[in-house]
Amino acid sequence: MLADLALGGGAVLPAPEDAIYVFDEAHHLPDKACNHLSFRARLGLAREHAEDCRRLATELMAEPRSSDALRRRLAEVPALCEELDHGLSAAGRLLGALLAGAGRKGDTAVEYRLPHGVVPADVAAIAGTLHHALRKLGDALEGAEDELSRQLDTGGAAAQDRYAVMGLSIGRVQRLAGLWRSWAEPDPAGAAPQARWIRASEQQSGADLEVCAAPVLAANVLRDSIWTRAAGAVLTSATLTALGKFDRIVLRAGLPADCVFATVPSPFDYRGRACLAVPRLAADPGDPVAHTREVADWLDANLDRAEASLVLFASRKQMREVYDRVSLGLRDRILLQDHFAKQELLRLHRERVDAGEGSVIFGLASFAEA
């Protein structure tokens, strides 16, 4: 769904106006949207991709079996790739100067984040040129892909290979277009800005620059792409509320003011069957060695080996280290997430519990939703 929205909606799935979305575990939606709508690309690698597109188009146009329609679709690709190469080179000079200016005492900084995400006017102009060229290149390649698809039945393995390479090229061009669009277009007034930054990147081929952009909040993107367009949407999760209110998900997901909210009571008697207790630990999590040792000691002393227990960790490294530190008697009862597929681990845990045996699951935080 997010991939479709990144392409404007209606490219892969039905258009939002014709769809009713149902999002389960919807508390993940803002973070998933931020991650999916983040862009990054190395300038040197982008120039290589442009050259790959030029070479592909040249080879296909020279192929005797290529149709006239395919050649027409690809005719402007070499010139667009050359324009991209010049633009990326110009962007590299401007961004390299920004990075150099961010250093101290003449040293070039490793990373530079644009204050408030505001792009300098000269960089924004180059970004706009690159975005325009990439959009035209993407349109040309998509047209060529349509022509190649008509040859799949009769062209054999060679046609399938060309079609696959074309699809890969289109995906790269679309991601690059998304990046440079985010650098070319200013953020709406009053909205949370996008984070935009550049960093030095050392590669085997030499020094390179990585250009990055990411939304600080997904609210604007979700509002513009889904909430104002979709025929309808339903969000469900056991953890949409915070302190009994929906304010946090409204802020992070940009939900409209006319949403209808409902809290459905759980069938589980948490109030009568559960107790929230915060152990008094001496070690600070900032000291991972001491904290891990104390967590292991606390679990050894407090976990009932005859009962079913779920222990969740925010860090895979700490989960493994606690597992290694607990006593052998407790370790025999532990099912470690890294040792089993999730469904197999749950099956083993259920078998032990049903047989009246104790069982302990060690998992990462996401395991709470299993």
Span 61-97, pLDDT tens digits: 998 888 899 899 999 999 999 999 999 999 999 999 8
pLDDT attached to residue 8: 67
Pairing between strand 308-313 and 232-235?
unpaired
pLDDT attached to residue 367: 76
CA distance linking residue 230 with residue 352, whole number of Å:
46
pLDDT attached to residue 7: 66
Find where tokens 């909205």 sit.
Answer: 191
Of 6, 12, 54, which Cα lies nearest the Cα of 176? 6
pLDDT attached to residue 361: 94
Residue 229 pLDDT greater than 70, yes or no:
yes
Mean residue pLDDT of the chain comes to 88
- Are 137 and 226 part of one and the same domain? no
Pairing between strand 39-42 and 206-215?
antiparallel
Contacts of 344 (CB under 8 A, 6+ apart): none
Residue 320 pLDDT greater than 90, yes or no:
yes
- Are 59 and 192 part of one and the same domain? yes
For 16, the domain range is 1-37+218-274
CATH assignment of the domain containing 339: 3.40.50.300
- Are 190 and 252 part of one and the same domain? no
Q: Is the pTM of this model over 0.75?
A: no
Contacts of 40 (CB under 8 A, 6+ apart): 179, 210, 211, 212, 213
- Are 56 and 161 part of one and the same domain? yes
- Are 252 and 302 part of one and the same domain? no
Cα→Cα distances 181→84, 196, 263, 326, Å: 14, 12, 39, 52
- Are 134 and 266 part of one and the same domain? no
Q: How many CB atoms lie within 10 A of CB 235?
A: 19
pLDDT attached to residue 22: 95
CATH assignment of the domain containing 104: 1.20.140
Q: Which of 188, 216, 244 is the last residue of a domain?
A: 216
- Are 266 and 283 part of one and the same domain? no
Residue 104 pLDDT greater than 60, yes or no:
no
pLDDT attached to residue 369: 64
- Are 295 and 148 part of one and the same domain? no
CA distance linking residue 76 with residue 60, whole number of Å:
13
Contacts of 134 (CB under 8 A, 6+ apart): 84, 173, 176, 177, 180
pLDDT attached to residue 6: 67
pLDDT attached to residue 172: 92
The confidence band for 296, taking pLDDT boundaries of 50, 70 and 90, is very high
Q: Mean pLDDT across the stretch 163-185?
A: 91
The confidence band for 108, taking pLDDT boundaries of 50, 70 and 90, is low
Share of the chain above pLDDT 70, in %: 95
- Are 181 and 235 part of one and the same domain? no
pLDDT attached to residue 265: 83
Residue 187 pLDDT greater than 80, yes or no:
yes
- Are 159 and 239 part of one and the same domain? no
Query: What's the number of domains the chain is made of?
Result: 3
CA distance linking residue 370 with residue 368, whole number of Å:
6
Q: Out of 45-54, 237-246, 269-278, which region has the weakest mean confidence (pLDDT)?
A: 269-278
Q: Please tell me the total number of residues recorded for the chain in this structure.
A: 370
Q: Mean pLDDT across the stretch 125-129?
A: 95
102 vs 142, residue with greater confidence: 142
- Are 73 and 169 part of one and the same domain? yes
